[in-house]
Amino acid sequence: MDLIDRKLVELLQQDATMPVAELAQKVNLSQTPCWKRVQRLKETGVIRAQVALCDPRKLGVGTTVFVAVRTNQHTEAWAQTFTRAVQEIPEIVEAYRMSGETDYLLRIVVSDIDDFDRVYKQLIRAVPLFDVSSSFAMEQLKYSTALPVRSGT
């Protein structure tokens, strides 16, 4: 990726609906070469998707819960069952396998504590867990979907 590609990625992360004419102007290209660059960024997987970012509160899921999961079953079968369960619960919006004391970290969005309890029960019905620790986010200090675009990538 050259400087123009990186600038295109930065601009599209800010507004994926920006017209090609405007993008081209901002990176000092004509429209066709700009469009071709954007298409190449999509084809190579640099741009994975173009989505609408929604306000969680307006969708009734304004409570964020971080859930640390520990398991005492480190088998492929258990991991597959857990992964399937996580993927099937829409309120789990992020899931990571971790190093250290926590095996998995989940970010869950719900309407309130009762709604979280429903999701928690759904998760523990789907897969046996050894230890679960939940923390409710009190305030969001930063949120961004834009990744840093650095040279040399």
Q: Write the pLDDT tens digit of every residue in 83-120.
A: 999 999 999 999 999 999 999 999 999 999 999 999 99
> CA 87 to CA 81: how far, in whole Å?
10
Q: Which tokens hold the place of 150?
A: 């650095």
Q: How confident is the model at residue 152 (pLDDT cuts 50, 70, 90)?
A: low
Q: Write the pLDDT tens digit of every residue in 12-49.
A: 999 999 999 999 999 999 999 999 999 999 999 999 99
2 has a pLDDT exceeding 80 = yes
Q: Which fold has domain 63-136?
A: Alpha-Beta Plaits (3.30.70)
Q: Which fold has domain 3-43?
A: Arc Repressor Mutant, subunit A (1.10.10)
Burial class (CB in 10 A: 0-12, 13-18, 19+), 42: middle
What pLDDT does 147 receive?
A: 95
> CA 132 to CA 67: how far, in whole Å?
7
- Measured in degrees and rounded to the nearest 5, phi and psi for residue 104 equal -140, 145
Q: Which of 111, 115, 108, 95 is CA-nearest to residue 135?
A: 108
> CA 103 to CA 100: how far, in whole Å?
7
> CA 114 to CA 128: how far, in whole Å?
21
| Cβ count near 130 (within 10 Å) | 10
Residue 78, C-beta contacts closer than 8 angstroms, at least 6 positions apart: 71, 127, 128
Q: Where are the domains of the chain?
A: 3-43, 63-136
